[in-house]
Amino acid sequence: QVQLVESGGGSVQAGGSLRLSCEASGSPYKYRNFCMGWFRQAPGKEREGVAAIDSDGDTNYLGSVKGRFTISKENGKDVVYLQMNDLKPDDTAIYYCAANPGRLWGASTSSDWYTSWGQGTQVTVYS
């Protein structure tokens, strides 16, 4: 079982930026760059995939965040980042990190793709 810990959430005015971090530990596949992703869930809404990245660095994004959010990984480390720019009130949600140590390829934004989840970090964007 992989443990995921998110950080970097907070409150920001519309148009501002935040960077979320997620560190994975406990993976039996040390040094492997497995698939990781970010999801979010707003009050009263279903969880949706925001961004994903695989071991080749291939990425995938939710349409509404393309051009504003960037997912990246730190080489050789099980850490994934989500740089969020030009934030909008609709981006307000709890953001969750997800990982699947058993998969190297496939930057999927489907929650079914992932086997481990973090506790989430709150992002609030006010106008």
**DSSP E strands, the chain:** 3-7, 10-13, 18-25, 35-41, 48-53, 59-61, 69-73, 79-84, 93-100, 116-117, 121-126
pLDDT in tens, 82-101: 999 999 999 999 999 999 88
Question: Is 15's pLDDT higher than 70?
Answer: yes
Q: What is the pLDDT of residue 76?
A: 73
User: Any bridge partners for residue 82, and if so which?
Assistant: 20, 71
pLDDT band at 31 (very low <50, low <70, confident <90, very high): low
Q: What is the pLDDT of residue 30?
A: 60
Q: What is the mean pLDDT of residues 55-64?
A: 94
